[in-house]
Every structure is written in C-alpha cells, then in structure tokens.
C-alpha cells in the first residue's frame, strides 16, 4: 500500500479558508516566519488546541488567519492588549502575537512597552521588514535613516528604533533578534520564548522585496536574503565594533534571558492573599 506523506506543517494550516491561497507577495519573508513558528510548536510537542495566535492588521497581522486552531485577528497595533486578556483568563494557553514593525512600535508602541513592563507571559514576534507593506510601502519606526519609501521619496528623515533595546529596557524576560536567514536560531528563540514564563520578544528581520526592496535597489527575495545575511553581525562581535563599523548592520543574538515576576501569576497571588481563588 502506498503511503502518501503529509507535509508536517499542513495540520497547522487553515487550508479551507477563503484566504487561501495566501495573500503575501512572491519573495516575502512572512511565509518563513509562519513556518518557524509552527516548527517551534511542533518541536515542543504543544497541543495546538492550547495555542492561540493573535494578530492585528497588515501583512504580518494576517499570519494568524492561517493558523488552524484558535486565533484572534484584531485591530492594528493592539494584539498585545487582546493577548493579555486571553492569557490572564486562560494561563494554560500559549498565546503568540505576531506583529509587523509599524504595528508593534508605531500605533502599538504603548501596548508594546506596557506589556513588556508588566511582564505578561506572552510570545511577541515582530516581523521587521522596515516598512508598512500592505499599504504599499510607507516608512515605519524601524525604517533606516535615508531609506526610500512611498512616503520618504527623498530619503527617510527619522532615525529608527532599536526594538530589542526598547523592550529590554521596559522589562521583558526574553529578547532576541535574528534575520529570517537564521532559520535554526529563529526556531530556537521562538521555542525559548514559548517556554519563558514572562514577556518574550523575538524580532525577526525579513525581506519585503515588493515594497522596501524595490525602492532601495535591494533586488528580489533571494537577493534580499543574501543582503540580510551579509548585514548581520552577532551581538558578541558587535560589542567590539565602533558605531561607524556598525552603520547599516543588523545586530543579531539573544539580548536578555532572565527570570522576573510574571504579571498573571502576581494577580493570582494577590487574589489568594485576599482570600480569593482565581482558578477555583
């Protein structure tokens, strides 16, 4: 009898959705990010019925709509607020929020810093492709200085956020950055983020050839992936480099991995001190 092997990711994919085939452009890095997330879930042998994906708006926000289990497809910038609510009520669930760079740090900037400060037990994955892709490629808070986008045709005038430094300062328990080319590192960091009891932030720098790449002469998807690999420098190595040497480089690695009191656990403990029992 012939056995047809099923792709291991297929059970996680909501293939009967009207959103299939997916809406991402040719050469986009989000498909890889989607794959890394389910690989982490698979490798940890999590029950997918206990994993909730939360997204907002934009290309990255759509990732959750292809997750074959519980998902909340919410509002632009607000996934972390909704995710916090779910996690507080259902601490046994793994709650993963995927956000684009604009969503995470412009419109959703306050949610990001407050959720990190509270140290809510969530997995926040930021797809940083340097621009708002779905609306056609406008600059975001991570767009490099001087880069061209549809709203910075003469070169970007603002300076970008270092999201990992920001979130680390706010009090996150785990912080890492990789590019989409760092396949194994991405999967391992997402696994660590899932296992971390606290707010875990993984920034993954990806290519957006259609919007950002095209306007900055960075080539097709594969060309951009080569560019991402060549631009990357490990955190340890970067520590030995001057600001001039680091210009235009993407510093990758783990920035924080620490144990801190978690917000939901603190709320449950408060209830116990008051004589209440949240999970009774």
Cβ proximity to other proteins, 198 vs 253, nearer residue: 198
Per-residue mark of binding to other proteins, 236-255 (x: CB under 8 A): --------------------
# chain residues binding other proteins, by CB under 8 A: 45
- Please report whether residue 123 would count as binding other proteins according to CB under 8 A: no
Asked whether the beta carbons of 225 and 205 are under 8 A apart, the reply is no
One of 1, 4, 5, 280 touching other proteins (CB under 8 A): 280
Contact region with other proteins (CB under 8 A), list: 47-55, 202-210, 225-233, 237-245: 47-55
- Please report whether residue 46 would count as binding other proteins according to CB under 8 A: no
One of 17, 234, 239, 245 touching other proteins (CB under 8 A): 17
CB of 22 to other proteins, least distance (A): 11
CB of 96 to other proteins, least distance (A): 12
One of 24, 34, 82, 212 touching other proteins (CB under 8 A): 82
- Please report whether residue 65 would count as binding other proteins according to CB under 8 A: yes
CB of 71 to other proteins, least distance (A): 6
Instruction: Give the integer Cα–Cα distance in Å for 61 and 97.
Output: 9
CB of 3 to other proteins, least distance (A): 24
- Please report whether residue 69 would count as binding other proteins according to CB under 8 A: yes
Q: Which residues bind other proteins (CB under 8 A)?
A: 14, 16-19, 49-50, 52, 54, 65, 68-75, 78, 80-90, 92-93, 110-111, 114, 267, 270-271, 273-278, 280
């Amino acid at each position: 009898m012939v056995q047809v092997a099923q792709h291991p990711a297929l059970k996680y994919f909501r293939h009967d959705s009207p959103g299939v085939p997916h809406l991402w452009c040719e050469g986009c890095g989000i498909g890889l990010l989607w794959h890394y997330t389910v690989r982490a879930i698979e490798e940890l042998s999590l029950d997918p019925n206990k994993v909730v994906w939360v997204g907002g708006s934009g290309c990255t926000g759509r990732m959750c709509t292809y997750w074959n289990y519980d998902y909340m497809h919410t509002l632009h910038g607000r996934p972390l607020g909704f995710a916090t609510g779910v996690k507080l009520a259902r601490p046994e669930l793994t709650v993963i929020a995927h956000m684009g760079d604009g969503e995470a740090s412009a419109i959703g900037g306050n949610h990001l810093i407050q959720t990190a400060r509270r140290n809510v037990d969530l997995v926040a994955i930021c797809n940083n492709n340097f621009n708002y892709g779905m609306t056609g490629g406008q600059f975001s808070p991570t767009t490099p200085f001087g880069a061209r986008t549809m709203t910075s045709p003469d070169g970007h005038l603002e300076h970008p956020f270092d999201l990992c430094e920001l979130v680390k300062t706010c009090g996150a328990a785990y912080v890492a950055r990789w590019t989409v080319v760092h396949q194994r590192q991405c999967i391992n960091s997402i696994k660590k983020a899932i296992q971390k009891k606290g707010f875990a932030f993984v920034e993954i720098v990806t290519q957006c050839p259609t919007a950002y790449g095209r306007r900055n002469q960075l080539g097709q998807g594969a060309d951009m992936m080569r560019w991402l690999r060549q631009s990357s420098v490990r955190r340890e190595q970067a520590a030995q480099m001057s600001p001039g040497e680091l210009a235009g480089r993407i510093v990758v690695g783990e920035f924080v991995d620490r144990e801190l009191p978690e917000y939901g656990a603190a709320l449950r403990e408060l209830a116990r001190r008051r004589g209440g029992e949240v999970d009774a």
